[in-house]
């Protein structure tokens, strides 16, 4: 007998309501990994929870739930039927990298993301609730995997983050005790688990931060733990109508590849994209800027122009591409505004933001507009990561 994932959720009164909730992570990771030797990491905790409601579970015949519970995944992006490789998704956000790697046949064996609302989006689409704070996760409890993916937080490295922190008199980069050190959590897990390869992603500005010192430390740390590193800044504009440059750091285990992986970053397709191709029809008037906000943005831009700097709103040429969508888009939408005839410009809808990052339209957006803007602004141009992932897999296959 099998059961739909949505029915199981309903019967278990399954809801992500707390940042620190890991029980649902155990349970869903257990459901996702039935036959690959990974479930041992999750089994005892998952079963404890299933026991709590055992009397309600009339659909299972004995305590070995998994053997009797082939789940019908009624979610948009279920795990592959036959996995070609295994990966982990750290700082997972809403799964832009997971989507890319699943499309390549990858089975995700572990996920971490601490934001409650991102977890809700992740579960609605992938049927899995990520574990929380990565700093509290013991590397021994992470299953083996071929590829580790991590888009570690960029606040301490981005220009906006740095100038704001400078003005607040706060440290940034590795001196920022809460954010900058997260890179070392990534390094700690790589060193212990020794994936064949990893893929790290961050803002372009990471390369020049602190006169290149931050990036040098990152590279040296990864080289010292025995990985051969390949880095490149790539722009999402080759896959979607958005200018989005990111530094991509790929590493291959020297013990496995002996520096002979022959990895090359994918060639960027020449295709030109236009923002008008991702716009929705009949957009709700709530996305049109109020007179007050539109006047404010115009005044603000004038002031900055007079001072000789180029800040301001980005009224988009519909036949061209947009500026980079950021996590602060929910505030005023200033960086990407859509002109409208006879009306004030409007901001993008959450669905248009999803498209701007290359998410297909069946990607479920279960959260408020504000949360959705933050989530898509933090995410990645997923098809770019699929192209990069393909090259990594090719190297692993050859090896
Ligand atoms: C740049 S975003 C990565 C987004 C992701 N690549 C995607 O496609 O959506 C970084 C993510 O790290 C999460 N994060 C920050 N600190 C964390 C921590 N200590 N443990 C787990 N997740 C954390 C943030 O909530 C954020 O979603």
**CA pair distance 104, 382, nearest whole angstrom:** 12
Q: Is the CB of 176 under 6 A from ligand 1?
A: no
**Domain end: 53, 74, 95, which one?**
74
Q: Check which CATH number belongs to the domain holding 337 and give it.
A: 3.90.120.10
Host domain of residue 289: 275-377
Instruction: Give the pLDDT score at 61.
Output: 47
8 burial (CB, 10 Å; 0-12 / 13-18 / 19+) is: buried
Which residues 6+ apart lie within 8 Å of 227 measured at CB? Answer: 190, 198, 251, 252, 253, 254
The C-alpha atoms of residue 14 and residue 6 are separated, in whole angstroms, by: 9
State whether 232 and 98 are in the same domain. yes
Q: Whose CA is nearest to atom 5 of ligand 1?
A: 93
Q: Are residues 187 and 55 in the same domain?
A: no
Q: What percent of the chain has pLDDT over 90?
A: 67
Can you give the pLDDT at residue 71? 84
Q: What is the CATH number of the domain that holds 189?
A: 3.40.50.150
Q: Chunked in runs of 10, what are the mean pLDDT values of the chain (399 residues)?
A: 82 78 90 87 84 59 54 94 96 98 98 97 97 95 98 65 54 53 91 98 91 88 96 98 97 98 97 96 96 92 74 86 94 91 96 98 98 98 98 95
Specify the pLDDT at position 210: 82
Q: Specify the 3-state DSSP secondary structure of 195.
A: coil
Ligand 1 close to Cβ of residue 359 (< 6 A): no
One domain, residues 245 and 131: yes
Nearest residue (CA) to ligand 1, atom 11: 91
Same domain? 371 vs 389: no
Same domain for 264 and 279, yes or no, is no
Cα distances (Å, whole numbers) of residue 15 to 6, 12, 111, 219, 278: 11, 9, 17, 40, 32
- What is the rounded distance in angstroms from the CA atom of residue 24 to the CA atom of residue 48? 11
- State the pTM of this model: 0.92
Alpha helices in 238-322 (DSSP H): 254-257, 291-306
Structure tokens at 20: 């620190």
Residues 373 and 384 in one domain: no
Q: Report which ligand 1 atom has the smallest distance to the Cα of 201.
A: 6
Spatial separation of the C-alpha atoms in residues 323 and 302, rounded to whole Å: 19
Q: Residues 150, 32: one domain?
A: no
Residue 49 shares a structural domain with residue 132? no
Kindly report the protein residue whose alpha carbon is nearest to atom 20 of ligand 1. 133
3-class secondary-structure state, position 231: strand
Q: Provide the pairing of β-strand 245-253 with 197-203.
A: antiparallel
Of 217, 230, 299, the closest CA to residue 261 belongs to 230
Q: How many angstroms is it from 309 CA to the middle of ligand 1?
A: 31
Instruction: Give me the residues paired with residue 150 across strands.
Output: 90, 200
Answer yes or no: are the C-beta atoms of 135 and 107 closer than 8 Å: no
Asked if residue 227 and residue 105 are part of one domain, the reply reads yes
Pair (87, 110) in one structural domain:
yes
Question: How do 337-340 and 343-347 pair as beta strands?
Answer: antiparallel
Tell me how many domains the chain contains: 3
Catalytic residue flag (residue 231): no
Tokens for 16? 């992500």
Task: Let me know whether 199 and 296 are in one domain.
Answer: no
Pairwise CA distance, residues 196 & 219, whole Å? 17
Q: Is 384 in the pocket of ligand 1 (CB under 6 A)?
A: no
74, 92, 109 - which closes a domain = 74
Is 343 found in the same domain as 212? no
Q: How far is the CA of 318 from the centre of ligand 1 (A)?
A: 31
Q: What is the pLDDT of residue 330?
A: 93
Identify the residue whose C-alpha is closest to ligand 1 atom 26.
93
């Amino acid at each position: 007998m099998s059961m739909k994932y949505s029915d199981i959720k309903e019967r278990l009164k399954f809801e992500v309501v707390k940042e620190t909730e890991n029980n649902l992570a155990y349970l869903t990771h257990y459901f996702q990994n039935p036959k690959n030797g990974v479930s041992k990491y999750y089994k005892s905790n998952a079963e404890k929870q299933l026991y709590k409601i055992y009397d309600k579970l009339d659909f299972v015949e004995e305590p070995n739930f998994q053997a009797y519970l082939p789940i019908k995944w009624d979610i948009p992006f279920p795990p592959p039927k036959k996995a070609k490789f295994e990966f982990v998704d750290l700082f997972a956000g809403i799964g832009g990298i997971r989507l890319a790697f699943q499309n390549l046949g990858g089975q995700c064996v572990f996920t971490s993301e601490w934001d409650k609302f991102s977890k809700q989006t992740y579960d609605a689409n992938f049927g899995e609730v990520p574990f929380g704070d990565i700093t509290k996760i013991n590397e021994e409890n992470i299953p083996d995997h071929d590829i580790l993916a991590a888009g570690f937080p960029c606040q301490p490295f981005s220009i906006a983050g740095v100038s704001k922190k400078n003005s607040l008199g706060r440290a940034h980069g590795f001196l920022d005790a809460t954010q900058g050190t997260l890179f070392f959590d990534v390094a700690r897990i790589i060193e212990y688990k020794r994936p064949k390869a990893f893929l790290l992603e961050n803002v372009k500005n990471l390369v020049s931060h602190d006169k290149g010192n931050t990036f040098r430390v990152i590279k040296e740390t990864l080289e010292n733990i025995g990985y051969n590193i390949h880095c490149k800044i790539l722009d999402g504009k080759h896959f979607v109508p958005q200018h989005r440059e990111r530094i991509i750091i790929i590493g291959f285990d020297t013990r496995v590849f002996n520096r002979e992986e022959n990895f090359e970053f994918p060639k960027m397709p020449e295709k030109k994209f236009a923002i008008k191709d991702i716009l929705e029809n009949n957009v709700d008037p709530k996305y049109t800027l109020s007179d007050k906000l539109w006047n404010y943005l115009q005044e603000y831009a004038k002031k900055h122009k007079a001072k000789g700097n180029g800040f301001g709103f980005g009224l988009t040429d519909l036949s061209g591409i947009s500026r980079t969508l950021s996590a602060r888009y929910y505030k005023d939408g200033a960086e990407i505004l859509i002109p409208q005839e006879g009306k004030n410009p409007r901001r993008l809808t959450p669905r248009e933001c999803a498209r701007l990052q290359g998410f297909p339209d069946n990607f479920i957006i279960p959260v408020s507009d504000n949360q959705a803007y933050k989530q898509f602004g933090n995410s990645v141009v997923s098809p770019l990561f699929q192209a990069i992932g393909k090259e990594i897999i090719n190297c692993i296959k050859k090896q």
